[in-house]
Amino acid sequence: MRVAVIEGALLELRQLDLLASGDSALHRLDPRLKLLAAFAFILSVVSFERYALSGLLPFFFVPLAVCAMAGLPSLLVARKAALVLPFAVLIGAANPFYDHTLQLQLGPFGISGGWFSFASIVLRALLSAAAAILLVAVTGLPAIAQALARLGVPQPMVDQLLFMYRYLFVLAEEAAHASQARALRSAGRRGLGPGPFAAMVAHLLLRSWERAERIHQAMLARGFTGQFHSSRGYRFGLTELAALLLFVGTCLLLRLVNLPQLLGEAALGLLLRVA
């Protein structure tokens, strides 16, 4: 099956969106809880010191556990998280050249701090991306937006987010059609340089603009006065609080206690004693 780039991206996005309509215990949780949990997770991951590597590893169990509990395909999540790799690599790529402080001596090979911080950046990016993707996959963007609103984010910003999400699909479809039409008439050549591309983007922008005006008209026609009224019953009770505290506690524990190091030291101690 050959799917054009934009259509492919659109399909994947829909797939992610479809996952959010699942019905596991995690899906049913209050979106505020999940939002705060993801935030706590990302915060613990990024707050490690720059050379941290082994301490980050146990954090990979968290997304795996979430996938298992929510019945999500972990491969799909991993593939989506991997989309941030190029950016992470770009950000960290210079580190090995600037930071030559010796961190580890393996026989004749010395590994500098630059390599450690580079690997650390990549791991953190992967973990943070996985957290964000899982949040969307078990909550859905509309519910996340609602959680944001109830946690005090200004309503206009939340509305923007919702509109962006709704019309992302429409815009992407239009872009896909335009690029398909261009491909069909470009006779196998890879486009005709920046000119037609710029015209296409400009055209899309103008069309979105006109659409935005029509949407606004449709909203006014149904009595819109600038206020979104929404109501959906979610509960944030003691159970939710306990679940959140448990999760944050786990994050804190993993952040403060370096499990691989402890395990390693214990194993080494055992070995030494046996020897």
Partner 1 sequence: MNHPVVAAEQLCFSYPDRTVALRSISFTIHHGESVAIIGANGAGKSTLLLQLCGSLTPTTGQVRIGGLPVSNATLQQVRRSVGMVFQQPDDQLFMPTVYDDVAFGPRNLGLTGHDLEQRVWQALDAVSARQLATKPPYRLSSGEKKRVAIATVLAMDPAVLVMDEPTAGLDPCARREIMGLLTAFDQTRIITSHDLDMVAQVCSRVLLLHEGEIRADGAPGDIFADTELLAGCRLEPPLAMQACCVCGR
Binding positions for partner 1, rule: CB under 8 A: 14, 17, 21, 141-142, 162-163, 165-167, 169-170, 211, 214-215, 217-225, 227, 229-231
Q: Min. distance of Cβ 46 from partner 1 in angstroms?
A: 30
CB nearer to partner 1: pick between 51 and 167: 167
Element (H, E) at 137: helix 113-139
Looking up tokens 């997770």, which residue turns up?
Answer: 41
CB nearer to partner 1: pick between 171 and 259: 171
**Token pair for residue 99?**
């930071």
Q: Min. distance of Cβ 222 from partner 1 in angstroms?
A: 4
Q: In angstroms, rounded to a whole number, what is the distance separating the alpha carbons of residues 144 and 146?
A: 5
CB nearer to partner 1: pick between 183 and 215: 215
Residue among 101, 126, 129, 136 at smallest CA distance from 115: 101
Q: Min. distance of Cβ 208 from partner 1 in angstroms?
A: 12
Classify 71 as helix, strand or coil.
Answer: coil
CB nearer to partner 1: pick between 84 and 215: 215
Assess contact for 52 and 120: CB atoms under 8 A: yes
**Token pair for residue 239?**
């159970």
Q: Min. distance of Cβ 157 from partner 1 in angstroms?
A: 16
Residues 6+ apart with CB under 8 A from 53: 116, 119, 120, 123
Residue type, 266: A
Q: In angstroms, rounded to a whole number, what is the distance separating the alpha carbons of residues 30 and 1?
A: 39
Q: Min. distance of Cβ 42 from partner 1 in angstroms?
A: 24
Residues in the chain: 275
Q: Min. distance of Cβ 121 from partner 1 in angstroms?
A: 35
CB nearer to partner 1: pick between 129 and 158: 158
CB nearer to partner 1: pick between 48 and 165: 165
CB nearer to partner 1: pick between 229 and 273: 229
Q: Residue 178: which region, alpha, beta or left (left: phi > 0; alpha: psi -120 to 50)?
A: alpha
Compute the half-sphere exposure of residue 51: CA atoms within 13 Å on the CB side of its CA: 12
Assess contact for 170 and 215: CB atoms under 8 A: no
Q: Min. distance of Cβ 149 from partner 1 in angstroms?
A: 13
Q: What letter would DSSP give residue 20? A: T
